[in-house]
Amino acid sequence: MTHDSSFPPPPPEGPQHADSAPPDPPSAPAPSRSAGAGRVRGAVVLVADALRGRGDPTSGPLGPAIVLLAVPMVLEMAMESVFAVVDVFFVSRLGSDALTSVGLTESMMAIVYTAAMGLSIGVTATVSRRTGEGDANAAANATVQGILLGGALAAILGGLGAWQAPNLLRLMGGSEAVVAVGTGYTRTLLGFNGVIFLLFLLNAAFRGAGDAAIAMRVLWLANGLNIVLDPLLIFGLGPFPELGVTGAAVATTLGRGTAVLVQLWTLFRISDRLRLGIEHLRVRVDVMGRLIRLSGTGTFQVFVSTASWIGLVRVIASFGSEATAGYTVAVRVVLFALLPAWGLSNAASTMVGQNLGAEQPDRAEASAWVAGRMNLAFLGTVGLVFLVFARPIVGLFAVDPVTAEYAVNGLRIMAAGFPFYAYGMVLTAAFNGAGDAWSPTWMNLGCFWFLEIPLAWLLAFPLGMGPEGVFVAIAVAFSTLAVVAAIFFRRGGWKAMAV
């Protein structure tokens, strides 16, 4: 029989002698070691299940349900963030002009990412809602319509971008030296943007269906190929041609293209959560119309956000190649941290969408706040690391001292706002998962266009802060977005959205 150790032990049965030793007290339970080991085993099992793609977002405790989705999504976004850093790591060996061309091209690629992410918002919201309702056929139809829309947009943007690549670099403020070095890089990434569209859209569909593990694995494949091919094609190692900065674009395109082939094979042959068949391969006007409505708003939402980065780069470019290169390094490092955090945000989006489909709005709301607290713990820790170790982190990139100083200052300033970013990212994703794409669109418009860009110009020029003023404006805008998103999310109007 066990006994509460806070009370004295009961007297022993039978007679006692005065000189006899008191009985040994019963051993107190020792929960610390066994319970701790149990928690560790439970965590290992939970992570293993997440990597295998198990779990149901609409049932069970919220914490484990979010983790089952978030672990593969965080790792997926971590792989995407490595894309952002690997190219800069190798291209930085080619000089500031080559690095500047990467930064300017990435700003232009923001248009591609905008359209791909906007369509992904519609695909995720629709697939997650249909999956929550138990209608796998409708989820497959939505996926195919997203592919068709993405393919059409990719063809238009790719043709225009490849044709006008050098002029676009000049328009972004690149010098003739930057244009000469970077035209091949720009032309390749813009011309083959279709692999980005498909990679984003198909992973959005997998995430909406709750199969985030597949999305994670294909990005592992794409990133692994990119890491291997980058130095081979940039520097011409072994039998490979020396393509310079263009080699980085070729490596990225080959890696992503291979991942897309695996995605398609999985959809048609392997997946047990989202399966496409020949019967789904046709235009469905009603489904496409709903996707256009959701994705059109989502695309404008992302455009508002990403176009602000183009405006910021234009301000930075006024201070020369070193400032632009420093901005490029700092933003890439920040993206390395923020993209895994988007994994938690994507988990919140799927949780909200599927639980609304299953008619569990309270669970949908609670899941967003739990995911926000998880994201706060992650980004708060990363922000502290960046504040303390900014200089050693920037030192990993082979940049000149002037560029490095800009990058260090920018990294520290932006990292100061990470705790706010954590909630802002999760809550805006939760709105989108509910099909309420307009609320975060208006928030982005106010925080990025009417606050961030004017503030960046004001701080950089009239107030004389230079490039550091741009970084301050970024931190202020994202922090403001988090506060506004929390206020509107609590009002709960998103729970009534029809998808």
Would you state the structure tokens that stand for residue 122, as one six-digit string?
């519609």
C-alpha–C-alpha distance, residues 95 and 82, integer Å: 21
Question: Distance (Å, rounded) from C-alpha 343 to C-alpha 447?
Answer: 23
Q: Is the pLDDT of residue 20 over 60?
A: no
Over the stretch 255-306, which tens digit does the pLDDT of each residue have?
Answer: 999 999 999 999 998 887 888 988 888 888 888 888 888 888 888 887 887 7
Structure tokens at 422: 């954590």
- pLDDT of 84 reads 63
Euclidean distance between CA atoms 102 and 109, whole angstroms? 10
Distance CA 127, CA 211 (A): 11
Is residue 410 a contact partner of residue 471, using CB atoms and an 8 Å limit? yes
Q: CA-CA-CA-CA torsion for 446, 309, 435, 75, nearest 10 degrees?
A: -140
Asked if residue 376 is part of any domain, the answer here is: yes
Question: In which band, very low, low, confident or very high, does the pLDDT at 54 lie, cut at 50, 70 and 90?
Answer: low
Q: 308 versus 199: which is more confidently predicted?
A: 199
**In whole angstroms, what is the distance from residue 416 CA to residue 451 CA?**
18
Report yes or no on 22 lying in a domain. no
Q: Within a domain: residue 43?
A: no
The residues, any chain, with a CB within 8 Å of residue 26's CB and separated by 6 or more, are 2, 3, 5, 9
The CA distances from residue 446 to 86, 393, 418, 455, in Å, are 33, 33, 20, 12
The rounded percent of the chain whose pLDDT value lies above 70 is 89
Query: For residue 78, is it within any domain?
Result: yes
- With a pLDDT cut of 90, the percent of the chain lying above it is 43
Q: What is the pLDDT of residues 331-383, one digit of tens each?
A: 888 877 787 788 788 889 889 988 998 889 999 999 999 999 999 999 999 99
Any domain includes 408: yes
Q: Which residues contact 456 (CB under 8 A, 6 or more apart)?
A: 311, 312, 315, 469, 470, 473, 474
**What is the spatial distance between Cα 403 and Cα 198, in angstroms, rounded to a whole number?**
35
pLDDT value of position 240: 92
Beta-carbon contacts of residue 151 (< 8 Å; ≥ 6 apart): 194, 197, 198
pTM for this model (two decimals): 0.71
237 class by beta-carbon count within 10 Å (0-12 exposed, 13-18 middle, 19+ buried): exposed
- Structure-token pair, residue 202: 């198909």
Residues 155-175: pLDDT tens digits?
999 999 899 999 999 988 888
Q: How many domains does the chain have?
A: 1
Residue 14 has pLDDT above 80, yes or no: no
- For the range 163-172, what are the long-range contacts, defined as Cβ-Cβ under 8 Å and sequence gap of 24 or more? 165/190, 168/108, 169/101, 169/104, 169/105, 172/104, 172/107, 172/108, 172/310, 172/313, 172/314, 172/317
Could you give the C-alpha distances from 223 to 81, 83, 128, 192, 337, in angstroms and in order?
9, 6, 26, 17, 16
Tokens of 9: 């032990």
Can you give the pLDDT at residue 123? 92
Average pLDDT, the chain: 85
CB 324 within 8 A of CB 316: yes
Confidence at residue 166, expressed as pLDDT on a 0 to 100 scale: 92
280: containing domain: 60-496
Please report, for residues 124, 130, 136, 249, 351, the alpha-carbon distance to residue 210 in angstroms, rounded to integers and kept in the order given.
10, 11, 12, 31, 9
Q: What number of other Cβ atoms are within 10 A of residue 496's Cβ?
A: 11
**CA gap 19, 284 in Å, rounded:** 93
Question: What spatial distance separates the first Cα and last Cα of the chain, rounded to whole Å?
Answer: 58
Over residues 114-138, the pLDDT tens digits come to 888 888 988 998 999 898 888 989 9
User: Is residue 369 situated within a structural domain?
Assistant: yes
Q: What is the pLDDT of residue 38?
A: 66
Per-residue pLDDT for 112 more than 90?
no
29 within some domain = no
Q: Is residue 105 part of a domain?
A: yes
Structure tokens at 149: 């829309």
Chain centre distance of CA 33? 37
- Would you give the distance in Å from CA 243 to the centre of its chain? 30
